[in-house]
Amino acid sequence: MRKVAFILLLLLAVQPVKAQSLEYMEVLNTFKVHFNNRDAKAAFGMMSDNLQKQIGIDNMRAIIHTFRDNLGPIQSFTFYEMEGAAEVYETQFEQGKQNISMLLNEKSKMIMLRFLPAEEEEVIAKMDRNKTKLALPFKGEWFTVWGGDTKAQNYHVISKTQKHAFDFLVLDEKDRSYTRSGTRNEDYYAFGKPIYAVCDAEVFKVITGVEDNRPGIMNPTETLGNSVILKTPNEEYIVYAHFEKETIKVKEGDTVLQGQYLGNCGNSGNSTEPHLHLHIQDGPNLLTSVGVKCYFENVLKNGKPESDYSPVKFDRITRPPED
């Protein structure tokens, strides 16, 4: 899964403006009122016609509600830097920070708006690793695309919440993740594969109804896509992302047992091809919680048994025969 950032791509080139201009602060303060009131329609009206066509009102609603739900209301803005002709403001929310990059036209309409991660102090998770014993979330051999503690092994490390995340998919004997042309989700070996609960847990959150992407095209407004978050008695929040639409068979408040079927691997959300994204975080908030390192109790790594193991990039992993 790509980094959690809701990027609104717009037009280029307007006349440069000076840093921290009064015009931009006025627009930001108006946006703050609409954002805090969850008034997506009013915020949408602050955009240029071209930006409105590119974003769409439904995506604007999704963006505002996602940030509002996870970070709370906006409290203040502090000028941070120029980004080309755009101005970037560190934005303090009730429950965290994000940078907002904005570009205005001559009518003070937004022609670019981006929510970006803000620079934060190093945050330590409430736990070093999972305490609950976990089984792999799938059967058969899967390939670890991203996993590990370095940037070379795992691009997720730059994200506070997802820094210990995994991306898993299925490869054939030629190390290809798909057959035929790869233009359909059904061409991918991971698509439609069953995904299971890694432990006994409560179903904390479920997101459904997100369309599966066409391979190669992501949906950044619904980052997790169809997803399930499990909560363990040890306060570990286990996030599964990118399920196939209409396959999730659990609901919020359910209790699941280790190995119970949750749904099928899909390609929904911020995903370029069918795969499973899995990570653990130390709290329920998808933007402010801290990622926790994830170890599985028993696995076969490249055909050899490992216990209490955290997969790294290029590992081929599967459950031991007795599982």
Question: Is 0.85 topped by the overall pTM?
Answer: no
Alpha carbon 77 to its chain's center: 25
Q: Is there a contact between 100 and 89 (Cβ–Cβ < 8 Å)?
A: yes
Distance CA 23, CA 51 (A): 19
| Residue 8 to residue 32: CA distance in whole angstroms | 17
d(CA 121, CA 210): 34
Which phi and psi (to 5°) does residue 293 adopt?
Answer: -65, 140
| 169 token code pair | 């998919």
Domains of the chain: residue spans and CATH: 7-117 (3.10.450.50), 142-318 (2.70.70.10)
For β-strands 201-207 and 255-256, DSSP reports them as antiparallel
What pLDDT does residue 8 have? 35
C-alpha distances (whole Å) from 183 to each of 133, 191, 201, 214 are 38, 13, 36, 7
Give the separation between CA 156 and CA 177, rounded to whole angstroms: 21
- CA-wise closest residue to 195 among 277, 259, 137, 240: 137
Render pLDDT for 166-196 as a digit per residue (tens, 0 to 9).
999 999 999 999 999 999 999 999 999 999 9
pLDDT at 133: 98
| Number of helices and strands in the chain (H, E) | 4, 18
Amino acid type, 164: H
Q: Which residues of the chain have pLDDT under 50?
A: 1-18
Tens digits of residue pLDDT in 69-110 = 989 999 999 999 998 899 999 999 998 888 999 999 999 999
How far is it, in rounded angstroms, from Cα 191 to Cα 138?
A: 12
pLDDT value of position 120: 64
Residue 13 region, left (φ>0) first, then alpha (ψ -120 to 50), else beta? left
User: Residue 323 has what pLDDT?
Assistant: 57
In the structure encoding, which two tokens stand for residue 315, read together?
A: 């590992």
In the numeric block, which tokens belong to residue 254? 């359910």
DSSP bridge partners of 291: 281
